[in-house]
Structure 1
Amino acid sequence: METLHGRLEGVAPGRAMLLTRELSVTVDELWRWITESERTARWYGPWRTTDGMAPRVGDEVLVTMSEEEGDQESGMRIEACQPPALLALASTAPAPFDWPITLTCEPRPAGSAITLRHGRIPADVPLADLGAGWEFYLARLVAAVEGTHSPGFEKCLATYGPQYAALG
């Protein structure tokens, strides 16, 4: 069985899920993969600013998740941006789906690591789907960066879903 890349912290309603993946690129290169729309389109989805200008802290960006049904844009507000180490976003969806997401990039001896922190997860949100979903998207990031193949969502759900469900 594949080992989880994530763990759960805290208790509802303040619990958070953290997932870490290592990559064979520099932290500066990893930063480009999480902040440039042309690159995010290859693993998560493209984004655009609402005003057509370069994004700044406090601005909203509209993201189209590439593997979700309906190709709907969802809003994310930039809460913090400290290149190449920290990108903090908050969904502009109504509660309880207005959770914060933080991406932290760190240099490692063989390249870099990204840690995704998905915060304020309500007790009634199934961890199996949420955890497997983030495993899926981070596997897509690794595959896009390294030019390899990533598993589909159904495989991630079957592999990681039961393990995340057991966490909480």
Structure 2
Amino acid sequence: MTEAAEPTGTLGEGPHGSELQLRRTFTESLETVWTAMTDSAQLEQWIGRWEGDPASGQVTFLMTAEGENAPPEECRILECSPPRSLIVETSVGPSTWHLRFELSHEGDITTLLFAQRIGEDPLGSIGPGWEYYLDRLAAVLGGRDAGEVVWDDYYPRLSEHYEQLS
């Protein structure tokens, strides 16, 4: 079991409307964090991998952290400005999720802003999910095994915080 997770997400206004926003800071370089979030082989260490040609504007995303039966998701790349920002839309079941991340760097710290536009899906499950995955990213960037981050430490324990945001 890992250290008890605390909710960090807030609601904010993004370029496309209301968003659930989560922030993380890292001592790794901007380029290292960018690569961990965009390179298929590095993504696979903490969340999943993509297949296809990103230059086409669309890839298939496979959630490897969800087990072997997770269905592939179509992911449209709406905006990509390496190594600073990425905006995508992904189909999750019947829903479409609008996701973005922005990276900034000051001194020795790289800051990640991860955001999901508010839609119909309940924040009580979305928020804990993103906390879990971003902590898995932090584990990998810190040289640890993402498997040390335990889902049961996030859901349903963090759900109430996110339900109260909406």
In structure 2, what is the equivalent of residue 87 of structure 1? Answer: 86
**Given residue 112 of structure 2, which amino acid in structure 1 is its aligned partner?**
I
In structure 2, what is the equivalent of residue 48 of structure 1? Answer: 51
Give the alignment partner of residue 152 of structure 2, picking from 154, 157, 161: 154
The within-5 A match list for 1:96-111 is 97-111=95-109
Instruction: Evaluate the alpha carbon distance shift between residue 82 and residue 165 of structure 1 in structure 2; reply closer, same or farther with a 3 A threshold.
Output: same
**Given residue 165 of structure 2, which amino acid in structure 1 is its aligned partner?**
L
Alpha-carbon distance between aligned partners in 1 of 2:37 and 2:106, rounded to the nearest angstrom: 17
Corresponding pairs, count: 157
In structure 2, what is the equivalent of residue 137 of structure 1? Answer: 133
Structure 1: 5+ residue stretches without partners: none
Q: 1:148 Cα deviation (Å)?
A: 2.8
Q: 1:16 Cα deviation (Å)?
A: 1.4
**Given residue 77 of structure 1, which amino acid in structure 2 is its aligned partner?**
R
User: Any idea what SS the aligned residue of 2:127 has?
Assistant: helix
**Given residue 86 of structure 1, which amino acid in structure 2 is its aligned partner?**
S
Give the alignment partner of residue 112 of structure 2, picking from 111, 114, 117: 114
In structure 1, what is the equivalent of residue 31 of structure 2? Answer: 28
Q: 1:68 Cα deviation (Å)?
A: 2.0
Q: Tell whether 2:20 aligns with 1:61.
A: no
Deviates more, 1:36-45 or 1:62-71: 62-71
Alpha-carbon distance between aligned partners in 2 of 1:89 and 1:154, rounded to the nearest angstrom: 28
Report % sequence identity: 23
Structure with the bigger percentage of strand: 2
Alpha-carbon distance between aligned partners in 2 of 1:90 and 1:137, rounded to the nearest angstrom: 18
Instruction: Evaluate the alpha carbon distance shift between residue 93 and residue 135 of structure 1 in structure 2; reply closer, same or farther with a 3 A threshold.
Output: closer
User: Any idea what SS the aligned residue of 1:25 has?
Assistant: coil
Alpha-carbon distance between aligned partners in 2 of 1:40 and 1:155, rounded to the nearest angstrom: 22
In the TM superposition, what whole-angstrom CA distance separates every residue of 1:94-131 from its partner, at most 9, and x where no partner exists?
A: 76x11210011111333311111101422xx2211100
In structure 1, what is the equivalent of residue 122 of structure 2? Answer: 126
Q: 1:93 Cα deviation (Å)?
A: 5.2
In the TM superposition, what whole-angstrom CA distance separates every residue of 1:2-56 from its partner, at most 9, and x where no partner exists?
A: 542210136xxx531011111110101111111100000001101111xxx4x12
Structure 2: 5+ residue stretches without partners: none
User: Any idea what SS the aligned residue of 1:98 has?
Assistant: strand
In structure 1, what is the equivalent of residue 21 of structure 2? Answer: 18
Alpha-carbon distance between aligned partners in 2 of 1:127 and 1:120, rounded to the nearest angstrom: 8
In the TM superposition, what whole-angstrom CA distance separates every residue of 1:72-106 from its partner, at most 9, and x where no partner exists?
A: 210110001101100110114576x1121001111
Q: 1:71 Cα deviation (Å)?
A: 2.8
